[in-house]
Amino acid sequence: MTRINTNISSLIAQKTLARNNDQLQEALTRLSTGIRINVGKDDPAGLIASEVLRSDIISVQKAIVNSERANQLIGTADSALGQVSSLLNDIRGLVSEAANVGALSDEQIAANQLQIDSSLEAIDRIAQVTQFQGKRLLDGTLDFLTSGVDLNTVQDLQIDQATFGTQTTIGVTLDIVQQATRGQLNFAFGAIGSAAVLQIGGARGTEAFNFAANSTIENIATAINLVSDATGVVAEVEQAATAGAITVSSFGTNNDILITADEAGADAGNVRVKYSAGDSTATTVTY
Protein backbone atom coordinates (compact mmCIF):
# COMPACT_ATOMS: atom_id res chain seq x y z
CA MET A 1 0.00 0.00 0.00
CA THR A 2 1.39 3.35 -1.07
CA ARG A 3 1.18 6.28 1.30
CA ILE A 4 1.41 9.94 0.21
CA ASN A 5 2.69 12.30 2.87
CA THR A 6 1.58 15.92 2.26
CA ASN A 7 2.03 18.85 4.64
CA ILE A 8 -0.35 21.55 3.41
CA SER A 9 0.65 24.01 6.10
CA SER A 10 4.32 23.71 5.15
CA LEU A 11 3.62 24.35 1.48
CA ILE A 12 1.59 27.46 2.30
CA ALA A 13 4.36 28.71 4.55
CA GLN A 14 7.00 28.15 1.84
CA LYS A 15 4.93 30.02 -0.73
CA THR A 16 4.37 32.92 1.64
CA LEU A 17 8.07 33.03 2.49
CA ALA A 18 9.05 33.08 -1.20
CA ARG A 19 6.60 35.90 -1.91
CA ASN A 20 7.92 37.90 1.04
CA ASN A 21 11.49 37.35 -0.16
CA ASP A 22 10.57 38.65 -3.62
CA GLN A 23 8.92 41.72 -2.14
CA LEU A 24 11.90 42.31 0.13
CA GLN A 25 14.31 41.99 -2.79
CA GLU A 26 12.23 44.46 -4.85
CA ALA A 27 12.14 46.93 -1.96
CA LEU A 28 15.91 46.66 -1.46
CA THR A 29 16.48 47.21 -5.18
CA ARG A 30 14.32 50.33 -5.16
CA LEU A 31 16.10 51.61 -2.07
CA SER A 32 19.54 51.03 -3.57
CA THR A 33 18.76 52.57 -6.97
CA GLY A 34 16.31 55.22 -5.85
CA ILE A 35 14.12 54.32 -8.84
CA ARG A 36 10.64 52.87 -8.56
CA ILE A 37 10.77 51.14 -11.96
CA ASN A 38 13.88 49.00 -12.48
CA VAL A 39 12.61 46.27 -14.79
CA GLY A 40 9.76 46.05 -17.24
CA LYS A 41 7.55 43.98 -14.97
CA ASP A 42 7.48 46.75 -12.35
CA ASP A 43 5.38 49.00 -14.64
CA PRO A 44 5.59 48.41 -18.43
CA ALA A 45 3.77 51.61 -19.42
CA GLY A 46 5.59 53.62 -16.79
CA LEU A 47 8.93 52.22 -17.97
CA ILE A 48 8.31 53.45 -21.53
CA ALA A 49 7.29 56.90 -20.27
CA SER A 50 10.27 57.09 -17.92
CA GLU A 51 12.75 56.19 -20.68
CA VAL A 52 11.34 58.95 -22.91
CA LEU A 53 11.57 61.44 -20.06
CA ARG A 54 15.09 60.25 -19.22
CA SER A 55 16.17 60.84 -22.83
CA ASP A 56 14.69 64.34 -22.75
CA ILE A 57 16.40 65.07 -19.45
CA ILE A 58 19.78 63.99 -20.83
CA SER A 59 19.27 66.19 -23.89
CA VAL A 60 18.38 69.17 -21.71
CA GLN A 61 21.40 68.54 -19.49
CA LYS A 62 23.72 68.47 -22.50
CA ALA A 63 22.11 71.63 -23.85
CA ILE A 64 22.76 73.32 -20.50
CA VAL A 65 26.41 72.21 -20.63
CA ASN A 66 26.73 73.58 -24.18
CA SER A 67 25.19 76.87 -23.08
CA GLU A 68 27.62 77.10 -20.18
CA ARG A 69 30.55 76.48 -22.52
CA ALA A 70 29.26 79.10 -24.94
CA ASN A 71 28.92 81.51 -22.03
CA GLN A 72 32.52 80.80 -21.02
CA LEU A 73 33.71 81.34 -24.60
CA ILE A 74 31.86 84.65 -24.85
CA GLY A 75 33.18 85.68 -21.45
CA THR A 76 36.75 84.98 -22.55
CA ALA A 77 36.33 86.98 -25.75
CA ASP A 78 34.53 89.78 -23.90
CA SER A 79 37.34 90.12 -21.36
CA ALA A 80 39.92 90.33 -24.12
CA LEU A 81 37.84 92.86 -26.05
CA GLY A 82 37.51 94.90 -22.86
CA GLN A 83 41.29 95.12 -22.63
CA VAL A 84 41.50 96.08 -26.31
CA SER A 85 38.88 98.78 -25.79
CA SER A 86 40.82 100.16 -22.84
CA LEU A 87 44.02 100.29 -24.88
CA LEU A 88 42.24 102.00 -27.77
CA ASN A 89 40.89 104.63 -25.38
CA ASP A 90 44.42 105.20 -24.10
CA ILE A 91 45.67 105.57 -27.67
CA ARG A 92 42.93 108.08 -28.43
CA GLY A 93 43.86 110.11 -25.38
CA LEU A 94 47.55 110.09 -26.33
CA VAL A 95 46.76 111.19 -29.88
CA SER A 96 44.64 114.06 -28.59
CA GLU A 97 47.41 115.05 -26.21
CA ALA A 98 50.08 114.89 -28.91
CA ALA A 99 48.01 117.23 -31.08
CA ASN A 100 48.89 120.04 -28.67
CA VAL A 101 52.26 120.69 -30.31
CA GLY A 102 52.47 124.13 -28.77
CA ALA A 103 52.59 122.85 -25.19
CA LEU A 104 54.54 119.60 -25.71
CA SER A 105 58.16 119.20 -26.63
CA ASP A 106 59.41 116.87 -29.33
CA GLU A 107 60.63 114.47 -26.65
CA GLN A 108 57.19 114.32 -25.05
CA ILE A 109 55.51 113.71 -28.40
CA ALA A 110 58.04 110.97 -29.16
CA ALA A 111 57.31 109.40 -25.75
CA ASN A 112 53.60 109.44 -26.53
CA GLN A 113 54.30 107.79 -29.88
CA LEU A 114 56.35 105.11 -28.14
CA GLN A 115 53.47 104.43 -25.75
CA ILE A 116 51.04 104.27 -28.67
CA ASP A 117 53.28 101.73 -30.42
CA SER A 118 53.44 99.67 -27.24
CA SER A 119 49.64 99.72 -26.96
CA LEU A 120 49.28 98.58 -30.57
CA GLU A 121 51.70 95.72 -29.93
CA ALA A 122 49.70 94.78 -26.84
CA ILE A 123 46.51 94.68 -28.92
CA ASP A 124 48.18 92.38 -31.46
CA ARG A 125 49.44 90.18 -28.64
CA ILE A 126 45.97 89.96 -27.08
CA ALA A 127 44.53 88.91 -30.45
CA GLN A 128 47.14 86.17 -30.79
CA VAL A 129 46.92 84.69 -27.29
CA THR A 130 43.17 84.90 -26.61
CA GLN A 131 42.08 81.26 -26.86
CA PHE A 132 39.33 78.98 -25.64
CA GLN A 133 40.12 75.27 -25.60
CA GLY A 134 42.90 75.79 -28.14
CA LYS A 135 40.79 77.89 -30.52
CA ARG A 136 41.90 81.46 -31.13
CA LEU A 137 39.02 83.89 -30.90
CA LEU A 138 40.32 87.28 -32.06
CA ASP A 139 43.03 86.62 -34.65
CA GLY A 140 40.62 86.51 -37.61
CA THR A 141 40.43 82.73 -38.05
CA LEU A 142 36.72 82.77 -37.16
CA ASP A 143 35.77 85.56 -39.55
CA PHE A 144 33.02 85.35 -42.15
CA LEU A 145 32.98 87.19 -45.48
CA THR A 146 29.70 88.43 -46.91
CA SER A 147 29.09 90.47 -50.04
CA GLY A 148 26.19 92.18 -51.75
CA VAL A 149 24.40 92.88 -48.46
CA ASP A 150 22.58 96.10 -47.70
CA LEU A 151 23.98 97.81 -44.61
CA ASN A 152 20.45 98.25 -43.26
CA THR A 153 19.87 94.48 -43.21
CA VAL A 154 23.13 93.35 -41.58
CA GLN A 155 21.27 92.54 -38.36
CA ASP A 156 19.15 90.02 -40.28
CA LEU A 157 22.11 87.97 -41.54
CA GLN A 158 22.17 84.29 -40.63
CA ILE A 159 25.54 82.55 -40.69
CA ASP A 160 25.75 78.75 -40.86
CA GLN A 161 29.07 77.06 -40.13
CA ALA A 162 30.23 73.57 -41.08
CA THR A 163 32.76 71.95 -38.77
CA PHE A 164 35.68 70.52 -40.75
CA GLY A 165 37.67 69.24 -37.77
CA THR A 166 41.14 68.21 -38.88
CA GLN A 167 40.04 67.76 -42.49
CA THR A 168 40.65 70.33 -45.19
CA THR A 169 37.51 69.32 -47.09
CA ILE A 170 34.19 67.83 -46.09
CA GLY A 171 31.62 65.94 -48.11
CA VAL A 172 28.27 67.63 -48.60
CA THR A 173 25.07 65.97 -49.82
CA LEU A 174 22.65 68.20 -51.70
CA ASP A 175 19.04 67.51 -52.59
CA ILE A 176 17.78 69.41 -55.63
CA VAL A 177 14.17 70.28 -54.88
CA GLN A 178 13.54 72.60 -57.84
CA GLN A 179 15.17 73.18 -61.18
CA ALA A 180 16.97 76.51 -61.47
CA THR A 181 15.04 79.10 -63.45
CA ARG A 182 16.15 82.29 -65.13
CA GLY A 183 14.71 85.56 -63.89
CA GLN A 184 14.50 88.45 -66.32
CA LEU A 185 13.21 91.97 -66.73
CA ASN A 186 11.97 93.21 -70.10
CA PHE A 187 12.18 96.92 -70.85
CA ALA A 188 10.67 98.50 -73.96
CA PHE A 189 11.96 101.96 -74.87
CA GLY A 190 10.45 103.58 -77.97
CA ALA A 191 13.24 106.17 -78.07
CA ILE A 192 15.48 108.21 -75.79
CA GLY A 193 14.33 111.72 -76.54
CA SER A 194 17.01 113.36 -74.38
CA ALA A 195 20.10 112.49 -72.38
CA ALA A 196 19.34 110.01 -69.61
CA VAL A 197 21.06 108.25 -66.72
CA LEU A 198 20.31 104.52 -66.37
CA GLN A 199 21.23 102.69 -63.18
CA ILE A 200 21.59 98.89 -63.28
CA GLY A 201 21.82 96.92 -60.03
CA GLY A 202 22.33 93.16 -59.73
CA ALA A 203 23.61 90.50 -57.33
CA ARG A 204 27.22 91.74 -57.52
CA GLY A 205 26.79 95.50 -57.52
CA THR A 206 25.31 98.59 -59.14
CA GLU A 207 26.54 100.69 -62.04
CA ALA A 208 25.25 103.98 -63.51
CA PHE A 209 25.27 104.73 -67.27
CA ASN A 210 25.01 108.10 -69.01
CA PHE A 211 23.33 107.90 -72.41
CA ALA A 212 23.10 110.74 -74.88
CA ALA A 213 19.91 111.61 -76.75
CA ASN A 214 18.87 109.17 -79.49
CA SER A 215 21.00 106.34 -78.04
CA THR A 216 19.95 102.99 -79.51
CA ILE A 217 19.09 99.88 -77.56
CA GLU A 218 22.20 98.25 -79.04
CA ASN A 219 24.29 100.95 -77.36
CA ILE A 220 22.46 100.37 -74.09
CA ALA A 221 22.93 96.58 -74.24
CA THR A 222 26.63 96.92 -75.09
CA ALA A 223 27.22 99.28 -72.17
CA ILE A 224 25.43 96.96 -69.73
CA ASN A 225 27.35 93.89 -70.91
CA LEU A 226 30.70 95.64 -70.54
CA VAL A 227 30.27 95.67 -66.76
CA SER A 228 28.42 92.35 -66.36
CA ASP A 229 31.22 91.02 -64.15
CA ALA A 230 30.63 93.90 -61.75
CA THR A 231 26.82 93.75 -61.71
CA GLY A 232 25.91 90.17 -62.59
CA VAL A 233 23.38 91.49 -65.13
CA VAL A 234 23.34 90.62 -68.84
CA ALA A 235 21.40 92.55 -71.53
CA GLU A 236 20.17 91.14 -74.84
CA VAL A 237 18.40 92.88 -77.71
CA GLU A 238 15.27 91.04 -78.86
CA GLN A 239 15.44 91.21 -82.62
CA ALA A 240 12.14 89.43 -83.17
CA ALA A 241 10.24 91.52 -80.66
CA THR A 242 8.74 94.94 -80.97
CA ALA A 243 11.19 97.63 -81.98
CA GLY A 244 13.09 98.93 -78.99
CA ALA A 245 12.78 95.78 -76.82
CA ILE A 246 15.71 94.80 -74.59
CA THR A 247 15.91 91.96 -72.05
CA VAL A 248 17.98 92.30 -68.88
CA SER A 249 18.56 89.06 -66.97
CA SER A 250 20.46 87.70 -63.97
CA PHE A 251 21.13 84.07 -63.09
CA GLY A 252 20.89 82.46 -59.67
CA THR A 253 18.43 82.43 -56.79
CA ASN A 254 17.19 85.45 -54.85
CA ASN A 255 18.96 87.80 -57.28
CA ASP A 256 17.14 91.10 -57.65
CA ILE A 257 17.56 93.41 -60.63
CA LEU A 258 17.17 97.14 -60.06
CA ILE A 259 16.78 99.48 -63.04
CA THR A 260 16.09 103.17 -62.63
CA ALA A 261 16.13 106.01 -65.15
CA ASP A 262 15.91 109.76 -64.70
CA GLU A 263 14.31 110.30 -68.11
CA ALA A 264 11.29 108.51 -69.62
CA GLY A 265 11.09 107.60 -73.29
CA ALA A 266 9.82 109.92 -75.96
CA ASP A 267 6.42 108.23 -76.15
CA ALA A 268 3.99 108.09 -73.26
CA GLY A 269 3.85 104.71 -71.49
CA ASN A 270 6.78 103.23 -73.36
CA VAL A 271 8.81 102.18 -70.29
CA ARG A 272 7.56 98.69 -69.47
CA VAL A 273 8.76 96.33 -66.73
CA LYS A 274 7.92 92.64 -67.05
CA TYR A 275 8.93 90.18 -64.34
CA SER A 276 8.93 86.48 -65.28
CA ALA A 277 8.57 84.21 -62.25
CA GLY A 278 9.74 80.62 -62.02
CA ASP A 279 6.19 79.29 -62.41
CA SER A 280 5.88 80.77 -65.95
CA THR A 281 3.68 83.62 -64.73
CA ALA A 282 4.48 87.25 -65.48
CA THR A 283 3.62 90.60 -63.98
CA THR A 284 3.78 93.70 -66.17
CA VAL A 285 3.98 97.24 -64.83
CA THR A 286 3.84 100.13 -67.32
CA TYR A 287 5.20 103.58 -66.51
Write the secondary structure of the chain as one string of H (helix), E (strand) and C (coil): CCCCCCCHHHHHHHHHHHHHHHHHHHHHHHHHHCCCCCCHHHCHHHHHHHHHHHHHHHHHHHHHHHHHHHHHHHHHHHHHHHHHHHHHHHHHHHHHHHCCCCCCCHHHHHHHHHHHHHHHHHHHHHHHHCEECCEECCCCCCCCCCCCCCHHHHHHCCCCCCCCCCCCCCCCCCCCCCCCCCEEEEEECCCCCCCEEEEEECCCCEEEEEECCCCCHHHHHHHHHHCHHHHCCEEEECCCCCCCEEEEEECCCCCCCEEEECCCCCCCCCCEEEEECCCCCEEEEEC
Global pTM reads 0.42
- State whether 189 and 126 are in the same domain: no
- State whether 133 and 187 are in the same domain: no
Task: Provide the residue-wise pLDDT of the chain in tens; the chain has 287 residues.
Answer: 555 567 788 888 889 999 999 889 888 887 888 777 777 777 788 888 888 888 999 999 999 999 999 999 999 999 999 999 999 999 999 988 888 878 888 888 889 899 999 999 999 999 999 999 888 888 888 777 777 777 788 778 877 766 666 777 777 777 888 776 665 556 555 556 678 787 777 777 788 888 888 777 778 888 888 888 888 777 777 655 455 566 666 655 555 666 666 554 444 334 444 444 444 343 444 43
Residue 20: inside a domain: no
Residue 113: inside a domain: yes
Q: Which domain holds residue 102?
A: 43-144
Question: Which CATH number goes with the domain that contains 114?
Answer: 1.20.1330.10
Residue 1: inside a domain: no
Domain tally, the chain: 2
- State whether 74 and 128 are in the same domain: yes
